[in-house]
Each structure stands twice: as C-alpha cells, then as structure tokens.
Chain A
Amino acid sequence: MRQQLRSRRAPTFPHGYRYRLDDQDEVNQNYLADEEEEAEEEARVMRVPNLEEEEKEEEQKEEEEGQGQPTGNTWWQKLQLMNEYLWDPEQRMSLARTGLILVIYFFFYASLAAVITVCMYTLFLTISAYMPTFTERVKPAGVMIRPFAHSLNFNFNVSEPDTWQHYVISLNGFLQGYNDSLQEEMNVDCPPGQYFIQDGNEDEDKKACQFKRSFLKNCSGLEDPTFGYSTGQPCILLKMNRIVGFRPELGDPVKVSCKVQRGDENDIRSIHYYPESASFDLRYYPYYGKLTHVNYTSPLVAMHFTDVVKNQAVPVQCQLKGKGIINDVINDHFVAAGTLHDAEEARASRM
C-alpha cells in the first residue's frame, strides 16, 4: 500500500541537503508519532552511506510498479493523486522532508499569527471601549415589544388562560428588573424632562435613572397580574433600543402613538398609555454603554388596549414621534416606525 502510494517523482535531493535533513530528524519526531514510520526512519539512517545505490533501486522498483499498475485513468489512481496532494507518502526522504516542511509551515504560520495579532491589537487600540466608533448602522433606534413572543400576532382566548399565560409570564419576567425596590436600591431618581448628563472620564462608572415598574400603572402587573389579558384588555410594552450617546431632541421627548394601520379606525376605540405622557423621558438619555452604565434601565411605554374589536384581526402600528427619529424606514418594521400590527388582537374570541 505504501509502496503504491509513493509519489512518482523520485526523491532527488542535492547531496548537501542530506546532512541538514538528518539534523531535522529530531524535530521530525515531534511530528511523527507513528511507530512504523519511526522504524523506517531508523532504517534510513543506517542505510545512508549507500544512498545512491538505493535511489537506483528505488527507480527500478518504481518502474516495475509503473508497469504493474493498470494505466487507465482509474478511480484508484485519482485517489492516489488526491492522496499525494493531501499527504506526501514518499518513503524515507519524505519523513525528513515532511518534517522540514512542517517546521517551515510552523514558522510561516507563527509569523502570520504574529502579524494578525499586531493588526488586531492595533485595531483594538483604535477602538474605544466605551464609545463605538460608528453608530450609523444601529441608528435610527429600533423598538421592541414585550411580551416577547416569537411572532407579532397576539392571538388569545380570554376564557382559555393557556392561550395567554405565556404572555403574562414573559411580561412578568421582563419587568423583574424594573421592580420598584430594585430600582430604588440601584438607581438614582433624577429630574425628569432633561438629559441626565454625567461628565467626567469615559471610564468612570455612570449612574442610571430609575424606571420603576409602578410607572406602568395598570400595565405594571402589580394590580392586575394578568396584564389585562384575562379581561381582553391586553397590555403591550414598547421599548426603544439602546444606542450609545443617543439623545432625543431637547424638550421634545420621543412619543409613542398607535393607530390602526389598515381598516376601520374604530376597531380600537381606546388605548391608554403609561406613563401617561406616552413618551420616553429625556432623563434616560444619553446611554453611556454597558461597561460604565451598568444599571441602565431602558424606559418603557405601556399600551393598554382597553377597547378593541374582538374576533377580528386588527393591525396596529405604533410609531415613535420625535425630532431626529426617522419613522418611515421601509425595510425595517422595528426601526422607529414601530411595531407593526403588534396588537393583532385577533380572535380574542369569547365565543
């Protein structure tokens, strides 16, 4: 097998090289654990003095082999060819050669690794740990709704808790971080209606403003643990994506407004917003990044659909309104233009 796999090129080393290759043998052993090969290697060392003869022999052998093999373009030959490319199975010399090759490749890749390390290091030097270099890809800010369901269709039956229980669980889980006690403990109560700007070094820890669960009133889950789902008046929370350094226009906080996207305006007769301003207060901006702004709590706006037509799909579009907010990005339902038909309270069937 080994014989057959040998390369057709006879090993023709310049004599000067043999000496050096022998030196490589020690190195080779690191790479070649195969006992059989080691044995062969020993054999080679012993035979070194009459190498020339051997080469002749080898050539002869090879010729014989060449004659013995079928000359067609068989799959077997192709396989051999492939094998040659993957691994050079030449005897004796090849061991040394393979070793040398491995050493050279090792150094080559080591130096490449060094180069890439230097490059990456330089890259990190140019990048601030606190402030992303470019934020244009993440702007305009997206919005996300809670409860987190894998689709945007809210479809439940009031009389069957199974159909809405997971919404409740999701909301509850999400709002754990907003618990009043936690907020009061971790964060500061900062004045509303103005940016909460914290000057000082980039690497200083920043304080975060409180956003208490209780701000959400009826949608806080404190009074109604089912967030209105049990009564067919579901709550949906709207969260604006965090962007480092993003500041809404001064004095004009981002407002949320929802309406029926298509169809009858009267399908939704009333929506309550909590906080009542239906806006994200300025005090929650700017965001300083998660490294220093550890306890930052994203502001929320809850929408309480208190009177919605039942048993019918209602596409709802909620938009963020405010200066510097683009709300008509076509391709992205989640950029500012808001959650699209999130409140498809379809078939909230109460049959």
Chain B
Amino acid sequence: MAPGSACPLPPTPPPSRVLCCCTRWSSGHQEGEPSGQRGPAGPHTSAQRCQYCTLVLFQKTPEIYSVELNGTKDIDKTDKGDGKEKYRGLKNKPSNCKKNHQIQEIKEELDLNDHKLSNEDLEKKYGTNIITGLSSARAAELLARDGPNALSPPKETPETVKFLKQMVGGFSILLWIGAILCWVAYGIQYSNDPSSSLDNVYLGAVLVLVVILTGTFAYYQEAKSTNIIASFSKMIPQQALVIRDAEKKTIPSEQLVVGDIVEIKGGDQIPADIRLLSSQGCKVDNSSLTGESEPQVRSCDFTHDNPLETKNMCFYSTTCLEGVATGMVINTGDSTIIGQIASLASGVGDEKTPIAIEIEHFVHIVAGVSVSIGIIFFIITVSMKYPVLDSIIFLIGVIVANVPEGLLATVTVTLSLTAKRMAKKNCLVKNLEAVETLGSTSIICSDKTGTLTQNRMTVAHLWFDNQIFMADTSEDHSNQIFDQSSGTWTSLSKIITLCNRAEFKPGQENVPIMKKTVIGDASETALLKFSEVILGDVMEIRKRNRKVAEIPFNSTNKFQLSIHETDDPNDKRFLMVMKGAPERILEKCSTIMINGQEQPLDESRATFHTAYMELGGLGERVLGFCHLYLPADEFPETYSFDVDTMNFPTSNLCFVGLLSMIDPPRSTVPNAVTRCRSAGIKVIMVTGDHPITAKAIARNAGIISANSETVEDIAKCLNIAVEQVNKWDAKAAVVTGMELKDMSPEQLDELLANHSEIVFARTSPQQKLIIVEGCQRLGAVVAVTGDGVNDSPALKKADIGIAMGIAGSDAAKNAADMVLLDDNFASIVTGVEEGRLIFDNLKKTMAYTLTKNMAMVFPFMLYTIVGFPLPIATVTTLFIDLGTDIIPFIALAYEKAERDIMNRKPRHKKDRLVNKPLVLYSLLHVGVIVTLGAFVVYFTVYAQAGFRPSTLIGLRVKWEKDDVNDLEDSYGQEWTRYQRQYLEWTGYTAFFIAIMVQQIANLIIRKTRRNSIFQQGLFSNKVIWVGIASQIIIALILSYGLGSVTALNCTMLRVQYWFVALPYAILIWVYDEVRKLFIRLYPGGWWDKNMYY
C-alpha cells in the first residue's frame, strides 16, 4: 500500500488505519490521536508511570566500546563484570518481591539509546561496518562472549528432584515409615531370636517396592506428558540473512551476534533486536510485544524517545509483514526486550492447582485417619498386653490397609488420559493438574482477536437499493442469501472485483477459497474472497476488464480508484470504479443507483446516512463504492490516463452502495459462550480494539447477551446523561483501558462483582494482569487467554493461563498452563467440560477407593481385639490396592458425564473432592456392607473346614503357636500348625475374593452419583467392563495360577466361595439405587444433602 517509501521519506501512517477512519465512530474518536500511538495505556504511558523505578539493565556506556579493537580483552572483562553485576542485581532483589514489582519492571522502560544514534555512531559502538558487516572471526568471538541468540528456556526443576518428590510425596512417607518399622521390628526379633521368620523383612521390602514402583510410574507419566509439550514447542530453526565479511550469508538466527547487519523481508520473524539502517515499505506486527494488532510502518528515522515507539527499531519475535529492511543487531538472546520480559515472567512462582490441593486434602484425610486409627490401635493392643513388637506390626498392618497405594499413580494416569483427550480437542495441557483447573474455572478472560473472532476481515453487511443486506460471515461463506438479482448488485460486484489490488497467491487451486492466502491488506482480502465466493473466478473477470489506470489508496485521498475497459465488446466506454471512506465517496457523487437505475442522489442522502450510522454502530468498517462510465466520445479507447494529473472526472459519479466489514466471531463462539453462561462461567472480553467494535463483537458472540444493556444503552434509551444512570442497573459494561487506569482496586472489584457481562476495550496487555488480579480477589478461578509476550505475566498469574497455539508467542506458551492448538474459544469450553468431568470422575474414584478401607481395617481389629485368626494379610491387601483395583480406577475416568455437567455452577473452592458425605457414605454405608460380606465368606470358609465362629473367638494365640500341632476345632479334629496356616491363607484368599466381588458392584454403582445406573446405561462405559474383567482375571490368577506360590499367601479356593459374597454385592447395588432414587426424588432435601457426594 505504501510502495517504495524508502528512507528518508516521511513516514506514512498505516493505510489500514485510515480505512478505519472512514467509519463514523472511529473518525470521531481517533481525530485527536496521532497514528502509531494507539491506546493511552500503551507501553509508553505505563513506562511513564514507572519512570521513577527505572532499572538500568541495558545501559552500555559507549565509552567502553570506543576503545580500539585490539583492546577486546578489556571489553570482555568490563562486559563480563557488567553482566555479573546485572545478574547479581536481579538476584539480590528481595525474595519477597511480589509479582507486582516484577510487573512494574516489565512495564518500565529500558534505557536503550541506540535508536538515537547515527549510523556512524552505531558502527563505532558495535565495532562493525554497515556495508561489509562483521568479520567471521569477530562474530565468533562475540558469539562466544554473549552466547547464542536464543531465549534461555525457563528453569526447570532438576529431574532428580522431580523423581524424589514422587518418592516422598503423598502416601509414600507413610509407607516408608511402615517399611522402616517392619525392619526395626525384624531387627528386634532377630536380636532376641536369630531364627525368627523373615516375614517382616519381606513386608518392608514389598512396601518399599510399592513406593518405588508407584513413584517411578507417576514420574514416568509426568515425564511423558512433559515430553509432548517439549516436542510441541520445539520450533523449526530460523534462518537469518546476514552480511558478514562483505558477503550475504544465511545462518541460523541463533548464531547472530551484536553488530551483525541483517536483512529482513516480509514474512520473516525478526531474529533479534534490530536498529534499522534502511527500509523499503517495511511493516511489522508488534502485537506479540505491545498487543497492538495494527501493522506498523518501520523506517530508519528516529521518531520517538521511547525505543518501543520509535520507527527505527524492530524487536525480536515480532514479525515483518511486508517490505524489506536492513538493520544492525543491537541485542541478542535474553538481553532482547522480549527475553527480558520472558525471563521475568518465568521467575513468577507457580501456585498449587486446585486439584493438587484436593488430592493433598484427600491424602491428609487418609493419612490422618490411618495414623490415628493405627495409634489408637497401638494403644489398645499394648494395653491388651500384646508385646510392643506385635503392636508395631499391627500398626503397620493398619496403615498399609488404610492407604490406597495405587491411587496416586492412577490419578496421574487418569489426568494424563484426560490431557490426551483434551489434546485431541485442541487443548494441549502442559501441566497435568491444570486439566482439572479448567473445570473449576469461574471466569474466563478472553482475547477478542483470533480467539473469539476468526481473525480476518469479512464482509458483514451490504447496503444498496436503500436496503441493508446481511452477508454470511461464517467460516466458509457458503450461504449468501441476499438478493443478487438487482442491477445495483451487478454494478457493485463489478466495483468490488475491479477496484481491488489483492490477489491470491498462485498455486492454491485446490485450497478452499476462504483458506487461500492472499497478498494484500485485510479489507481487500475480505473483498476479494467475498467476490470470489459469489462471482467465481475474480482473476478471470479482472482479465476481461483490463485495468488501464489506477490510483492506489492513500491517506490524503482516502479513496482508491481504477479505470478499466469493459468486458462488453460493444461497449467502448471505460469504467471508472472507486471505493473509499463513505463520506468522501458520497461527496464525489451526484447520482445513486437504485435497482440498476441511476437516480439523483438528493432524496437518498438521508437513507445513506441512516445506513452508514447503523453499520458504523455495529462496529464495522464501512466502505463506499461508486462508479462512472466515462463517455466514449470524450475518452476514446486510445485515451491515455494520467493518475498524477487526474485527467478524468472524479466528481458527479454514481453512488452504488456501501459495504461493511468486521472480524466476525467464530461460528462456534456464540454457542460456546452460552454454554459457559449456563455453566456459571463469566466470560470477560479483553481487547485492544475500539469499544464500539468490541461491544459489537461481544454482542455477536453473546458475551453481552441480547437483552442486557450497558450504562450507555440505558442512558440512550431513557434519553438522560450517562452520569445519571444508576451504574448497577446495567447488566453489561464496556470499560476502556483509560477508565480502568483511573480505577482503584476497590472500584475494579465492585465493577467485576456487579456486572455479569463485561467487555474491556482499548486495554493494553499489561492491564490484563490488573483484571486477572481483580477477578482473583473476588475468589474466582480465572482462566486467561493470551498470545503476546506481554500477556505472559497475566498468563502466569491466572489460575490457568491459556496460550494460543497458532498466534501465540513462545513466551506466552511457556508461561501458560495450556495451549489452544486452534486458537478457538470453543475449545476452552470443551476443556472446561473435560475438566469438570475429570473432577467428578476422580470423586468417584476416591469414593470407590475409600470403600474397601473399612473391609481392610476391620480384620485387624477383630484379629487383635476379638482374637480371630487373621482374616486378611497385609500383603493380600496390597493385591487389592495394586492389583484388582488399578484398572477400575482408570476405568472410572472414562465415565461419561451425568447429564447436568455444564448446567451447574463452577465448583466452589470449598467443594472438596473428598467431602464428608463421600467419606461417610463410602466408609459407613457401602464400606460396612463390604466388610460384612467379606466376613461372611471368611466365616463360611472356617466353619466349613471345622472352625465355627464361636470357636474362633480368642483362638488367635493358640492358633499362631508353632509348637501346637494338635489344635482342636469344633468337631474335635486336630490341626497341625501348617494345616492351620494353610486354612488361614485360604481365609485370606476368600476374604480377598469377597472384597473383589463386592468391589465389582462398588465399581458399577460409582458410575453415577445421582442418576440411576440404568439411566446412564450399564454398558455405556466399556472400560468399566474391562476393569471388571481385570478384577476377575487377576483374582483367578492369584488364586488358581499362583495359588501354589506360598509367599503370596494365596490358595486355590473352592469355586462356591466365589459366590458367597454375591448377595452382598447385589445389596450394595440395590442400596445405592435407592439412595440415588431418593436424591432424585427430593433434590435439596435432607437426604440429598447428606447422601450426595
């Protein structure tokens, strides 16, 4: 659009911005603002606000560099010293330095003065030559000094620390203590009697093995999911075109050093911080740095004191959109501005995720319960005159029985399964625990551009024949329903097609129109695609209407004009077509085309204004179109048009129509927003756009719902001043960055709390952080989307930061917990659903796990207090925890949602994963039934072998005496020690299988918490059945396959014993169905409150 604006031509304002000025609203608002300086709250302003805290991080005194080249050693030394100082400076910051401080540092201006220097001074300062570049040797030297030109990745916890954390986290500590107690017990036994059995040593070893196995497994799972991220974030190495040794060379941009002369062209990412030396029509997209989405012209003029604002600087990680430029590298790697921001953001510590807190809570409950039961037990046994040693063993037994050893590892599996599922739905979760955080989200602060919108201009409305037509703005434009029969449309379509410089990039024949790449600016692209969809091959039409002259768009004319031959061979007239700011176009017109007929403009002027206002009010960018057939006698075929002298009429044209464009919301977004709303999630839009555009998009996307009004709306409706309106009457609010800047935190809190629909417009990325903090003060779990580097503090600060996978910068991705692969807001909602689902399913898992604890602790109680032969051994309990229960845990993660998942409010922070009803119902209801069922089997086995329950009471002491080989049973039969032992093992096996059988029922009932199993579908989750099969198979293997391995304490069990617990399994199912029935019958009632977990 600005061809050949090579330096030192005066900088031209970005044309697209000027197009923007065509609209009524923006011309009104933007008049006072110099172009290139967007919002009042841009980096410049914030920098000013923080002037007092300027940190001299980047000051490089020119004196040092003015020494001769052979003094490089000195330079090195000085610089190294400097570097250390910097480092120390950073390190010495008080450790309690809160984020706010760091943010201030980010906002603050960097004392960079290279943009003020002349080329000669620069050459001197960096010891380079603008024409020949650095010498290779010097470059290598500098590379060795400064390190590669890449952002150093955020510091990661060392792998060993991660591994050790897994080894001591959760229940592991308890198990370690158990194992050590085992060995201590053996030590004492051994010192008394060297021939004592090694059982305790084995048990200790098994416990340690369990800890190590589960720990390693969890570590492996985590590492695996981290690797996915690592592979994702690995980028294709960038190349940079650099002048070295007076030659142009392409080198990996990592090898760039300060003083290199690089050439950039349209499409390149800027490889380092660069001071431009020459430029030709160079425009950059600084959005990743400043959040400004408009392309900005870059030249080699020093235009502003602030390095971020001046035109002769380009920054690392921004993109060159078009044109070419040459520049000198002045900062590389971490010392670039981006690097500085990124490293500060990565220093912000992570807070615990909600699910981590919940799991910790669960661990505390279980550990608390098991330790307290253990200790009570210990006291009982000691006071019952058991030897202390035995009491210790009992204590270990109780702890091991209580602790679900396999649970935490499977929780990791469950989370990573969900993470995988979410990745399929385009949510890539970096931190496993963030999976659930999304589910508890109560506020989503979303970007507009790209996330809520399609990120491309699209024709939204047309106005011709005094009517407004709506165009289809969906992603594929397939459904254009407006009236195309009018003659006016024929003319309008011709203007749209011809008065357009945009072209498709060649070689995209098979790409759908909407996905084709276009060379040209956003508006022209929109028009091109629009006409291509409706009219077919635009290039062919243009070929038939050969262009003879053209005036491209510029900011003074505010129109674009071209003159064409017509495709009608009989018509020798030239067609002049023009588009531009509607007022300007209208000024040049004297007639208007209605239904294909030219009519005098006068009476239509009013309707034009109404339409223009209306379209402008929708936040759309409006263009006017007009044409004129140049009379053939005045302008014969051979006429030579001169665009400079304008030797053709540019007034008294025929006005044809208006066309308005907008970056429309993605078609999935309104639905997603509605779902969010029904799910109790507040969606806040944060954008750098103009309030009117923002509001229009918010309305379209449903963020401001159809029936809610802002203060301005109410004022307009009641015809009173805005100040008179009661602020809290308005449901919706549109707040600009300027207003936000003047707000106190209390005011912001009030605003956030009292409006359900909020749009923040004209905000800078830094203000996003303020908004996030405000939301968090309200106790909300906040999800924030972001793509720019400046978003990274907000992403870090948010409970869950969501970076954009396509548009997002690396720094944002690093700071985020989650990456949206398709940049689509709707994916967040899918993520929310998955997150809620996993929370529910984890709840089910916890309930499932807790249930059997009763059945594993009771045997120890009866063993020690009543004196039954031990019903189930510690090792056998491990078979349940680590054997039969493992796959069911995971299977529950596959359970589908009970219907209401997206219709309820977000989880309150006080809604625990493991709450009181869950614990009580699991332990005292189902747990008791399981225990009884298991004991019935136990009694059956003993009674049928000869020991009636009455005989068993107090039998323990004799039973366990090794030298009693003729213990009498209820029938007078005599049992040797080994025979008793074998019977005891049979008892273990029976008890184990009884628990297993009832756990099958327990698994089935845990499928739902409120609905009946039959409503949910008994076979809806196939994995559950895999889990049940696994339980049975593992039990079969243990009993029949490994029954002969004595160490496992399992025996071949008579087939009938497998079915003894079956009635209890059925009882569990029936009881739970009754529970659910009452919950459904009396929602909110006493039963619901106490029995719904």
- Chain A residues with CB under 8 Å of chain B are 8-9, 13-14, 17, 78, 81-82, 84-85, 88, 97, 100-101, 105, 108-109, 112, 115-116, 119-120, 123-124, 127, 130-135, 137-138, 142-144, 148-152, 239, 241-244, 287, 289-291, 293, 296, 329, 331-335
Contacts and interface: CB of A to CB of B under 8 A. Distances in A.
Contacts of A138: 945-946, 969, 973-975, 979
Nearest to B1082: A14
Contacts of B372: 82
B966 interface: yes
Given A115-B932, A123-B940, A290-B971, A334 B1085 contact: no
Closest 8 CB pairs of A and B: A290-B972, A142-B976, A332-B978, A241-B974, A133-B944, A334-B976, A144-B966, A334-B965
Contacts of B364: 78, 81
B68 to A, nearest CB: 61
B141 to A, nearest CB: 54
Interface string B907-949: 0001000001001000011001100100110011001111011
B1067 interface: yes
Nearest to A79: B368
A133 to B, nearest CB: 4
B968 A290 contact: yes
Contact of A137 (B948, B983, B1090): B983
Given A123-B940, A138-B946, A241-B973, A115 B1067 contact: yes
Contacts of A82: 365, 368, 372
B49 interface: no
17 contacts: A14-B1086, A85-B919, A88-B916, A105-B924, A123-B939, A132-B971, A137-B986, A138-B946, A142-B966, A142-B974, A142-B975, A150-B963, A241-B976, A242-B972, A287-B972, A289-B971, A334-B965
Nearest to A339: B965
Contacts of B963: 148-152
B973 A244 contact: yes
Contact of A142 (B969, B979, B1046, B1086): B979
Contact of B982 (A14, A84, A133, A137): A137
B908 to A, nearest CB: 11
B978 A17 contact: no
Nearest to B940: A123
A17 B1085 CA distance: 8
Contact of B365 (A85, A105, A109, A142): A85
Interface in B958-1007: 963, 965-966, 968-979, 982-983, 986
Contacts of B974: 138, 142, 144, 241-243
Interface string B1062-1093: 01000100000000000000001110001000
A71 to B, nearest CB: 12
A85 B945 contact: no
Contact of B943 (A9, A127, A143, A241): A127
Contacts of A144: 965-966, 974, 976
Given A151-B963, A242-B973, A244-B973, 18 more contacts: A13-B1086, A14-B1084, A17-B1086, A82-B372, A108-B925, A119-B1063, A120-B936, A123-B936, A124-B943, A127-B948, A132-B946, A138-B945, A142-B975, A241-B974, A243-B974, A244-B946, A289-B971, A290-B971
A119 B936 contact: yes
Given A8-B910, A142-B965, A334 B978 contact: yes
Nearest to A9: B910
Contact of A332 (B939, B946, B968, B976): B976
B977 A334 contact: yes
B979 A137 contact: yes
B368 A78 contact: yes
Which interface residue of B925, B982, B1086, B1090 has the most chain A CB atoms within 10 A? Answer: B1086
Contacts of A241: 965-966, 973-976
B249 interface: no
A78 B364 CA distance: 8
Name the prevailing secondary structure of the A interface residues.
loop
A132 B932 CA distance: 24
Contacts of A150: 963
A243 B1084 CA distance: 62
Contact of A14 (B935, B983, B1085): B1085
B1086 A135 contact: no
B86 interface: no
B712 to A, nearest CB: 36
Nearest to B932: A116
B1054 interface: yes
Given A134-B945, A142-B965, A120 B368 contact: no
Contacts of B1086: 13-14, 17, 97, 100
Nearest to B943: A127
Contact of B946 (A135, A287, A329, A331): A135
A149 B1085 CA distance: 67
A280 to B, nearest CB: 14
B288 to A, nearest CB: 38
A289 B971 CA distance: 5
Nearest to A142: B976
A14 B1089 CA distance: 11
Contacts of A132: 944-946, 969, 971, 973
Contact of B972 (A115, A134, A293): A293
Nearest to A136: B945
Contacts of A81: 364
A25 B186 CA distance: 54
Contacts of B975: 137-138, 142, 241
B944 A101 contact: no
Nearest to A131: B971
Contacts of A100: 1086
Given A132-B944, A291-B971, A101 B1084 contact: no
B1077 to A, nearest CB: 16
Contacts of A115: 932, 1067
Given A144-B965, A335-B979, A112 B972 contact: no
Contacts of B972: 242, 244, 287, 289-291, 293, 296
A332 B1054 CA distance: 22
A119 B936 CA distance: 7
A109 B973 contact: no
A245 B972 CA distance: 11
A105 B972 CA distance: 41
A317 to B, nearest CB: 15
Contacts of A88: 916
Contacts of B936: 116, 119-120, 123
Interface string B1040-1053: 00000010000000
A165 B372 CA distance: 50
Nearest to B914: A85
Contacts of A119: 936, 1063
Contacts of A142: 965-966, 974-976, 978-979
B1071 to A, nearest CB: 9
A137 B945 contact: yes
Nearest to B1063: A119
Given A115-B1067, A287-B972, A84 B916 contact: yes
A139 to B, nearest CB: 8
Contacts of A332: 976-979
A112 B940 CA distance: 18
Contacts of B976: 142, 144, 241, 332, 334-335
Q: Which of A85, A138, A242 has the most CB of B within 10 A?
A: A138
Contacts of A152: 963
Contacts of B983: 137
B947 to A, nearest CB: 9
Given A115-B1067, A142-B965, A244 B971 contact: yes
Contacts of B966: 142, 144, 239, 241
B1090 A101 contact: yes
Contacts of A287: 972-973
Interface string B295-335: 00000000000000000000000000000000000000000
